[in-house]
Amino acid sequence: MSAPLLDVQAVDAGYGHVGVLRGVSLQVEKGAIVALVGANGAGKSTLLKTISGVLRPTAGRIVFDGAEISGLAPHRIVDAGLMHVAEGRRLFRSQSVRDNLELGLYGGRLDAAAEARRYEFVYELFPMLRERPDHRAGVLSGGQQQMLAIAQALMREPRLLMLDEPSLGLAPVIVDQVIGAIERLRAEGVTILLVEQMVDRALDIADRAYVFQNGVVIGHGAPADIRGGDLIRRAYLGAAG
């Protein structure tokens, strides 16, 4: 078996003196969709932030495509091809839709034709963006902002895309589109690490899944095994109850 694209090795991380993740190890194979599931507060978003360099691991290593990235500045990690769509719609609110997409290209090295293809790609994914390129991001509805945030991350052709709750605030019909888009991205060779509370939807498209509880990976495997097993119930009810 070839080396995984992303290899998280026994990582500890947290905020200030508060430890959240303890000894988290996880592998994402090239071209796969890997889902992270678990109750709120289990550490899924913290892991994504640690991988993208927003947080520094206090122990362990993170290897992306054979090179260690733990401790690198976030923009270096983006340059390496790893893109993170964080929860909470981090947009340039006073900039237009089109400018936000253009900022998504910042630092990339695409030629004009490739850039045009990226615009076409995200416009096809979210036609709403094509309809109102001049609207300021701040005046879009919450769900529209979520679409724009995802689209922005797709502009630089990431090799690994980390999505934190992409369905948040989206109408069901749009959730279908986003799920479809994630599958399409995989078909195009993009590797995806997905955090999603609509666990069924995530497991429908995932190749593998990791189950988190209280900052620890309590199990992983194929979606069918995860669904059939006892892990999910433990992860959600154990932490919440």
Partner 1 sequence: MASTLRALLEWPHLRRGLLIGLCVVLYVAPLAVGTEYRLFIATQMGVYILVAIGLNLLNGYGGQVSLGHGALVAIGAYAAALTMVDLHWSFWPAALLAMVMAAGVGLLMALPAFRLSTWYFALITLGFAEVIAGLLTEWRALTHGFAGVVGIPAPKAFGYAFTARDLYWFVLTLVVLTLVGMANLLNSRFGRALVAVRDNPVAATASGVSLVRIKIFAFVLSAAVAGLAGALFAVQKTVITPEDFPADFSVFFLLVIVLGGSGRLAGPVVGALVFFLVPELLTALQSWRLLIYGGALLLLMLYAPHGLVGAAEGLWKKLRARLGLPNIPPTPVAADAPIRAIDGAQLSVRDVSKRFGGVAALASVDLDVAPGVTHAIVGPNGSGKTTLLNMISGYYRVDQGAIAVEGRRTENLAPHAIARAGVGRTFQTPRLLPHLSVLENVLLGAFTAEKHSWLSAALALPAARREQQASLAEALRYLEFVGLRERAMELAGELPHGQQRLAEIARALVGRPKLLMLDEPAAGLSLAELDRLGELIAAIRGIGATVVIVEHHLELVADICSRVTALERGAVLASGAPQDVFSDQAVVSAYMGAHVRIGEKGA
Residue ranges in contact with partner 1 by CB under 8 A: 15, 17-18, 38-41, 45, 87-89, 128, 139-144, 146-147, 165, 168-177, 197, 199, 236-237, 239-241
Rank residues 72 and 226 by Cβ distance to partner 1 and give the closer one: 226
Question: How many helices (H) and strands (E) in the chain?
Answer: 11, 10
177 in Cβ contact with 167 (< 8 Å): no
Provide, rounded to whole angstroms, the least separation between the CB of residue 240 and partner 1.
Answer: 4
**3-class state of residue 189 by DSSP:** coil
Nearer to partner 1, 39 or 185 (CB): 39
In the complex with partner 1, the residue whose CB is nearer, 107 or 138, is: 138
Q: In the bound complex, what is the minimum distance in angstroms from residue 18's beta carbon to partner 1? A: 7
Q: How far is the CB of 182 from partner 1 (least distance, A)?
A: 14
CB of 99 to partner 1, least distance (A): 18
- Choice between 112 and 240, CB closer to partner 1: 240
Distance CA 98, CA 184 (A): 23
Element (H, E) at 18: strand 18-28
Q: What is the Cα–Cα distance from 79 to 43, expressed in whole angstroms?
A: 25
Tokens matching residue 175: 């959730």
Alpha carbon separation from 180 to 27, 28, 175 (Å, rounded) = 23, 20, 8
| Beta carbon of residue 21, minimum distance to partner 1 (angstroms, whole number) | 13
